Structure 1
């Protein structure tokens, strides 16, 4: 297995290796090495020393005691500029990650010396886990935790690395699992954009059709469209161009997904520009004609109300409902969350109006 690991990492581009922290050895070896050698990185402060030791040894009890003393959780613990949270993620200490992210004083935006975020590190190690069958650390669980608490990827090379490598070696299980977890847990527009971008750019290294991958990922896009605030709509729709630019083995699959995304985007309040309509026309002239018709048609009052409400939001749609002093009727909630669009997708396009 060691030879396979070595051969696998030999495929990592040099610029990626110099841009982000990549796992060059199995995590259990890395943890043992850190256990044996961390003394050379110990800061002089005794409390910080104890924090480092608690994280390395996965001692949740000691960590809690240290937090009770209001210890600074954001101080670098070693020469790699790793905070307690970053180190806990890298070592795969799930319970410590849960504990740390629930601390108001814990800065989720800290980066290590290679400018990798906690999410970037978890993503890299999750892919590494796919190649290390003996690894019993569940980095997928950590990714779920980070996604559900709104962590973002920062280092583009980290996403490039895992997606390109997965496609090159035909590891569709990794891509599909990442997509399925995103559908359930992720609300990050930045993650959505980076994942689509890298899948599109590195499609040529994959041997075989990617229709299923894009179709699955479109569910994540639709989820974001249903829940997004007004300011988030622009990056989501702009990222949808990667569906149009990518090659699909079956053109009908591409047309079906494109139609569905266009309907959800329109329902969420998107106004199609001439430039975007021209872009769509290269793939589906029929769909672009519908977009033109929609832009010239006076929408219904209830659709205008839905768009106006969503445009003013600074949080997700579902969370906004919780801020009302009285419960909003479920039928109204479902309409604002675009629950009506799924039925519209089954109709003839020219008969659909908002």
Structure 2
């Protein structure tokens, strides 16, 4: 193991070949387990309770496994895969959080055999606008038990997850090539599955670098029961456009291209009348997207120190134009303009400045040179 420390996050790691396991982390001010640009990681058999914004948060990593963890009481996402590739999230129990499991701006991910309950939203596949990596695609959500995700949304006001309606089983926003298969989805009061583009999603800003439309969504066999029994007014209005008044299982809002569904007669659906019949019925030939050989260790040249720190640290809470947990980078640029040292000092020892944002945890584990490098990079980045 290299690059692991106990710092402002209960566990923070970077580097290669990381294993974080068998920990009990409760009531921590920062996050539970946060990875920053670490490859070949395994996060397993941990219990994480009430650790603030994120429970488990690998960011900008490749070839990672998150399995057999119990995570609850998280203000944003209990398990949050950010800007990462070749990921396997399996056999976790997540509950009493805003988002249960979130795949954000990531590719080649499988989410399977998890128990996801009593969150605001169960499992999410997102493209969040304004992040440096612009795509989410090739995601399989299968064999999960997703039930009673009706917890009132307690996310940071204005953040992306704060727009999730309570009672959402699975939410796909602008992501492509998402397969939803063999899940048991029950008791979610708004809908079992919601698919939306950016234009119709709350708390999002348009990003010219991101395709706002979810393409090639594939809904295969799933068991859905007792969903949509107390859905929101916007969904009711959408259903009336198709003269439907039943409790909705599947809601598609806005545009979607080249999507398909099988056995649509089993579900109450809105917005999928023009979807094709899928040409396949299961993903049994795909066991995992984890690579057979470990990914080479990330080598960070001195000239890239600021960029990698920005991607691996700052982009977890700040988009360029939109609002996440922290204010947009554009606002930071306007406030600090030609004062990178001021940003570096704030990174080292932040204070709460805004009532509508949570206090930023100190990033003083970064050395002074890296803090100044990331400040310089942040103040000149353009998207």
Which structure is larger by alpha-carbon Rg, 1 or 2? 1
Both structures adopt the same fold (TM-score exceeding 0.5): no
TM-score by length of structure 1 reads 0.32
Q: Which has the higher helix share?
A: 1
Structure 2 length-normalised TM: 0.31
Point out the structure with the larger strand share.
2
